[in-house]
Structure 1
């Protein structure tokens, strides 16, 4: 069963491999919780100040359109609200939208090891886009899986409907990030039966019923995944010490993940 609507992906793309580059503590947390961490978009602003931004053209067009409405012309007090509506939309979207990000490639990336996992004690888990769609248990009613589009946010043309949707904007990033070749899963920041508590227990119905579903007090959510089926192999960072190799194998065994653990193909003497 697929748990996501697809964005910017064809059926053929589902076979492509994706890599999740992790520091060792993040790898351990994923394996212990049997879940993926989905941070809010606003927590990603330190890496990309335009995360979740509305393209300039669409924001300008919508503001100009709204200012032509008679109800606005006849009530000058509304002008400021309309002028600021796009920025409020973006701010709310960054609070309410969660994302989990993967690198799409058939081979390892030295840059991704350096920027996201660390050498020599990083770890990367490998999967496919199709497996992400099936074995990460987001709420299918509010979740998207797609390829990030790298654009000029100052000139990119987007429909007004899409520009108003934070989930759609989450698949836009500036051209300077194109080397990341990102595949992204997004969902809403609502607690539910697919979530795992920070103590590792399943979230109870009384924790997410009614107003409890709102996740205002946490920077993200752990969302369940079947790692046994999701992870096709695990790769160690170039130059990883032997003890880390044994430790990662042991952690995988305890988590029920029996897929291969491999040393980096970037190491001298390792078969690519």
Structure 2
């Protein structure tokens, strides 16, 4: 009987997926009402194909790494090697699927503004809880994104996960936690045959600790969320909260 080497413990120890020092770190997913409704209805987390992300640097090498790779290929007289490796990295980007979360003990105004829109909300759980949900998803990894200078730094060690677990330092405010899956059955397949998303099971009622309403949502939004939750996931009804950023300022006791 062979030993299962792709256990959750082994995946959490993967060098490309740094784990937070505090496993109880709060993690957040900011979204609009449509995505939230689908999440509760389907009880699934969606991983999106990396080449569909707005940031075109997703899954790319650093400029420094590309420079060194080209230099090494030229010095060794293997001019085709650089082109082959470059094509391979782009191909892997096209079969990399990611779900993005925000690791923070507090709400982020920047995340509200950037990811939830006028009418948005956030679900909050813990890193430990999110990671534990991958027990039955042996091809999905989780870890914290590293932010580096793409002009002067390179990834540590050679691994196909490194490009999707690094971002430019300008995005450091995101404090991103990522779920990542790279299904090689789609490698070298025509793009039209690759799904744009992959969904993995997630028990919303067990895993969600809080549902936070955006401070920038209209006044009716709270009631709308309450109605949706009551219909699709009633056990979460007492976990709906207004954002702390919605509180009125105080100037002391008069």
TM-score (norm 1): 0.76
| Conserved? CA contact 1:54–1:169, under 8 Å | yes
Question: Which position in structure 2 is the counterpart of 1:262?
Answer: 241
Q: Deviations over 1:40-64 (max 9, x none)?
A: 11011x2x22111112333333343
Cα 1:266–1:225 shift into 2, 3 Å: same
Within 2, Cα distance between the matches of 1:32 and 1:261? 17
Structure 2 stretches of 5 or more lacking a match?
Answer: 1-6
Match of 1:55 among 62, 66, 72: 62
CA offset at residue 159 of structure 1?
4.0
Within 2, Cα distance between the matches of 1:249 and 1:2? 35
| Conserved? CA contact 1:40–1:98, under 8 Å | yes
Cα 1:223–1:92 shift into 2, 3 Å: same
1:188 aligns with 2:186: no
Question: Which position in structure 2 is the counterpart of 1:36?
Answer: 45
Q: Deviations over 1:55-85 (max 9, x none)?
A: 233333334334455xxx4xxxx62x32312
Within 2, Cα distance between the matches of 1:232 and 1:268? 21
Match of 1:18 among 23, 27, 41: 27
| Conserved? CA contact 2:98–2:179, under 8 Å | yes
Cα 1:13–1:100 shift into 2, 3 Å: same
Within 2, Cα distance between the matches of 1:8 and 1:31? 29
CA offset at residue 257 of structure 1?
5.5
Q: Deviations over 1:146-190 (max 9, x none)?
A: 11111111221324523xx1x222110001111111111111247
TM-score (norm 2): 0.81
Within 2, Cα distance between the matches of 1:5 and 1:257? 32
CA offset at residue 24 of structure 1?
1.2
RMSD: 2.9
1:8 aligns with 2:8: no
| Conserved? CA contact 1:34–1:255, under 8 Å | no
Within 2, Cα distance between the matches of 1:95 and 1:112? 26
Count of residues in Structure 1 that have an aligned counterpart in Structure 2: 235
Matches within 5 A, 1:196-215: none
Structure 1 stretches of 5 or more lacking a match?
Answer: 192-207
